[in-house]
Structure 1
Amino acid sequence: MQIIRINKAQATQDGAGVNISRIAGFDGKSLDPFLMIDELKSDNSSDYMAGFPPHPHRGIETFTYIRKGGFEHQDQMGNKKAIRAGDVQWMSTGRGVIHSEMPLSDAEQGMHGFQIWLNMPAKDKMRAPRYQDTTEHKAPVITTNSGAELKALAGSWQLDGQTVQSPLNDLAGNGAIADVTLPADQQITLDMSGYGKVLIYIHSGTLADTRLSATYQLELDPAHPVTLQSGAQGAGLLVLAGQPIGEKIAHMGPFVMNTQEELQQAVRDYHAGKFGSI
């Protein structure tokens, strides 16, 4: 496993005061085709109960994965869904989405989840928005003889002679995302050579060969086999892969376009009510 760079998530707030850890890559290079990895992990309801009231997006895809607790999603397309532990939700916002994500009442025992942003190529940024989740068709799981588990959240994955494909397989940049759980002192190897970008985000435990623990993110060279070795406490990892888009990025809050003029147009369209309402 060849490490290109290491980042550590920074504590910040979003929504109506939700405490999160964030890896940001709005330079269009360091995470491309991904833009941001937000982790919400807390057993203190005051960290997340204010939630994410209605807000707009344009030009990105949002990918939400819940490991513990849950949110109710609602958007102007008419979708209203409870996204609970194990569920994944994807929105390709295109020309505009208004949505909210508010904690479910039974999430008071804690919350652990992620929202990941992907950049959309310029040719798709103004297409109609799309929505999909796994509440009815769950993400498939590969379990090895050693007890390692790979949950295919998006895209197609191979491990230990098994191949699975998530119901979500149309992410921008050919994005693929998996949640890997390793028991103590266990190892798996993934062939990621078909991708141009490979990222690992540690959400629990440690990677023994790096001694890195939760909230660290690694960029790996996809030309080398990705060997993941857990420490004595095991490890939980998000593996993210995709093909870099390589386009200029103009970013302002919930909007990601290619030029400043496109950003200003997004703001005008939002204030004119062209994103709809919920």
Structure 2
Amino acid sequence: MIGLTTPTTGTAYVEGLDIRTQMDWVYTSMGVCPQHDLLWETLTGREHLLFYGRLKNLKGASLKGAVEESLRSVNLFNGGVADKQAGKYSGGMKRRLSVAISLIGDPKVVYMDEPSTGLDPASRSNLWNVVKRAKQDRAIILTTHSMEEAEYLCDRLGIFVDGSLQCVGNPKELRGRYGGSYVFTMTTSVNDEQEVEQMVRRLSPGAEKTYEMAGTQKFEMPKQEVSIADVFEAVEVAKSKFPVYAWGLSDTTLEDVFIKVANSAQQFHKLT
């Protein structure tokens, strides 16, 4: 999609341009944030953006304005950071600069590969907001292993397993399609694990244990089999019989959906 290798079969179109034959034109309206930062250690953050801005045909005042706006948007403007050599940047700062480079020049399509890798929670949240604002006027194709990132940033999600697309939909659709269960977790002493499992089986005969370690057990309970009120009541009864260190009941997360889709795809491959 970004032109580094020629497609073996098929093609893709960016603004009606074929990536097999018109890639030189596609480059003029494309931005890329690769998984690994491709930066020159001796150039400053500002110099990187000036260079890439010129590649996108920005000049004079419009180039300078675009660079200033980019630096501010990824929090690399204050404290002289913009004029520091990229080799002296932290991993998070390099990542933010890579995102700024991909967005400069108002590209119509942007490819981002794990944009928030290695960022602390505050920087990650800031970067997500930058990407969210940027997607208003363009198409952003983002790959990530973080389901939290995918849910926050993406309007449509596709899950790939072993290079094959398994499903496409918005987060709500995918949870509805693959997550028709509550996730019940309880931590007790190892001696009381059997009691917990029996309690869950009484609540939901079709419950499936998905995790067990050192007294902590996790079950998926089909929503049609159980009511939340019954779960709370059963937990209160359990607390009177044995010590409960922690427990929780949650809806299926995108992480659960991803694991379920990946497991079912791998089982299908084994069978075939």
Larger-gyration structure (1/2): 2
Q: Which has the higher helix share?
A: 2
Pair in the same fold by TM > 0.5:
no
Report the TM-score, using the length of structure 1 for normalisation.
Answer: 0.26
TM-score, normalised to structure 2, is 0.27
